[in-house]
Structure 1
């Protein structure tokens, strides 16, 4: 039995898991990462602290196991900009994908056609927290920082560099914003369109899928593992979760109800509508000729956390509130765009903001919470309509721990949802990719067999068809107001 530690480096939590041959977790550990919310919409993380979380969870897992492990498989958050020098030291705090400092710049790019040009060349839409606008902002405001950097990468490859000394990037991370997903090479005209041709040398060349690296002396000391132990890095958490959940056939999709609402659909067709709305991502997967059309909306459990803080309730009570207010939330409607950086899928608008309507003195917290949860489910339907969902739908993330919210998703989407038994699907996906890279693949079907299915209720689905039409009309009106 090959034993691989899967490490998922999330935005707020790092988790390590070791699985048995059936895909069940036999040892796991997690620890929090620090997210720094700063004025001006800035959101940053400290690379050293993030690396320390990786060391912490790996050492905890090893303490719970008997005997050695065969490899470490990394996955984690994508986007943002993690600037490092040749030794892997951060030259400034990492800029998170949640960051909004480039909001105004992105609005200028949208008006001037830059976003459309990049989308036509790479099939990925730009948003404030992706590398292109962040790098351009830093180039204008902190050029000396970029001068000191050897690489402008992402979370997973930043950790990989600290563990192995290698400067590289997985094709999934590189997919946004400059990679041609078909050739798996950077499109230099897309780089130039963003005014970054003079910073082209900061982009690490993508590694071939399933490349195996090795712990160097520094990484081995950090993790308490042998020098030379195999390490894999990628895909990042969105495609890793799709792989770990069981998405394998074109048309299958996965809903990740986490900090963001990530909606992905597997496709073997590289075609996209170049005249469509420049939003979402076209992610390269470990299999050439397969892609994930990803619509990672900025709405998600962070919105629920906000509502819980507003009402002074615990997250565990959300399910109870959903049962206290039925479908339609007694006439309360919502648009869920609470992120300071607006929305990035299935449309991009840094000015997108939330709204509630239909409120009166007769309404209470249950109605507002129900309306918010329904609006997030409508946003998921909007994303899946854009991504082309036609097959089996899987789901993961903290949001699906709530039976009531999961049922709401199924009813709004009008389709059954398959929930893997183990919530750590990102780490599962990273381990499955690593095992194949090592030449000892696990039985993916066997791993996906342990799951449950949430059926939709036909009468509720019919009700929500009309609700979705109302949501679309409200969104169209709001988008006109955001432009004023």
Structure 2
């Protein structure tokens, strides 16, 4: 197997991993990225600092190897807007997918039918942190930034441009919100619906399937690798995780329990219900004729971190607390929508907010934590029902490092969950995509073998059937309140 460095450029952490022929990591490194939360819901990152983390982890992991590197495979966070000039330097700080400055604009688009019109063209819903509303917001409030930019892209293609000089974008990143998944080309009507026809030139041409690029001199000097080294740029982290976890058959899905909760299901059809809820993503993959129906909810481990801060709990004690409370959390119920940007899947509502009900003087910290974890699992079930899960379910992310929480997910979903043994699933997916692009043979079954299965507990799953029905009732009532 070629020695390929997989780099996963996350929102708060960049990771580099090298795998052996069996898909076991043999070298890895990580470096934190800074995220700035600003007034008005703005969330930004310094591209140069993020690029510095890529250089740091690549150099560190290369030092751990006893031979040369054959290729570099990039993946990372999606959505947001990373505005760059023709040389790849950002003309303003990168706007994160967590950004909420366009909340009011998106609410207006929902009222006037813009989001529905775009969904009917592309199969993808819009949320405040995706390119459509961000670009429209900038066009109204900060047009000079768009005027100075040569390209409005995403994290992975921004890094790729600085390493190779190429202006391009992976089809997975381009999928939301302007790409017609059937043609893999931008839909002019979707762009026009967002009032951005005059800014179309900022959208980079999607790369061809299995495209390979080369490190230029500047990229080679930055990373300490040979000029001309093969580089692949994408897919972004959600489809990369699906590929890395072993999702291969139509109907298979993956639950990524990270800062947010991403639920994806593989399909061989780009067709969708144009009258359905305008939410989620229909993502093109590196293989033509294969698609991922994504429901990336804003709930996830960030909510659990909030609960730990509020309750004075060390996150390492979560397992003990989940065990200390019984299924149903002592009657406490929760809606987990703690993000200031609201929710984006399986529905979009910038006004979505969390709530706890059923509290009493007997309620314990364990009950509150378990109620929140159960509610996030209910949100996952809601997402997978919308995405059409029918096959094997895989899972990754920080949340599944807790056996107790993973068991809750399995019981709420009523599905056994396959958990890969190696945490670098996104980087693994990027490496597998690179290996295929470079015509390097690998044993997909061997790479997926290092995993374990969490089995459903049927009696507990029955308890959660009623809990899920109650969750949907509470959500329907809350959505009426948010709309007012």
* Range of TM-score over shorter length: over 0.9
The aligned counterpart of 1:416 is 416
CA distance in 1, matches of 2:270, 2:211: 23
CA distance in 2, matches of 1:462, 1:154: 43
CA distance in 1, matches of 2:99, 2:378: 24
Alignment RMSD: 0.5
The aligned counterpart of 2:217 is 217
Cα displacement (A) at 1:271: 1.4
CA distance in 2, matches of 1:55, 1:264: 30
| Residue pairs, 1:35-50, within 5 angstroms | 35-50=35-50
CA distance in 2, matches of 1:13, 1:90: 20
Q: What are the ranges of 5 or more consecutive residues in structure 1 without an aligned counterpart?
A: none
- Check if 1:125 corresponds to 2:112: no
The aligned counterpart of 2:182 is 182
CA distance in 2, matches of 1:448, 1:230: 25
Deviation string, structure 1 residues 457-477 (Cα, Å, up to 9, x no partner): 000000000100000000000
CA distance in 2, matches of 1:27, 1:423: 13
CA distance in 2, matches of 1:39, 1:444: 46
CA distance in 2, matches of 1:217, 1:208: 24
- Check if 1:456 corresponds to 2:456: yes
| Residue pairs, 1:73-472, within 5 angstroms | 73-472=73-472
Deviation string, structure 1 residues 239-268 (Cα, Å, up to 9, x no partner): 000000000000000000001100000000
Cα displacement (A) at 1:423: 1.0
Q: Scaled by the length of structure 2, what TM-score is found?
A: 1.00
The aligned counterpart of 1:481 is 481
Residues 449-458 or 435-444, more deviating: 435-444
3-state SS of paired residue (1:472): helix
Q: What are the ranges of 5 or more consecutive residues in structure 2 without an aligned counterpart?
A: none
* 8 Å Cα contact 1:432-1:441 kept in structure 2: no
Deviation string, structure 1 residues 175-211 (Cα, Å, up to 9, x no partner): 0010001100000110000000010000000001210
CA distance in 1, matches of 2:283, 2:440: 25
* 8 Å Cα contact 1:17-1:25 kept in structure 2: yes
CA distance in 2, matches of 1:4, 1:342: 38
CA distance in 2, matches of 1:441, 1:77: 27
Runs of 4+ in 1 over 2 A off after TM superposition: none
CA distance in 1, matches of 2:149, 2:269: 37
Cα displacement (A) at 1:441: 2.9
3-state SS of paired residue (1:107): helix
Q: Scaled by the length of structure 1, what TM-score is found?
A: 1.00
3-state SS of paired residue (2:345): coil
CA distance in 2, matches of 1:314, 1:163: 40
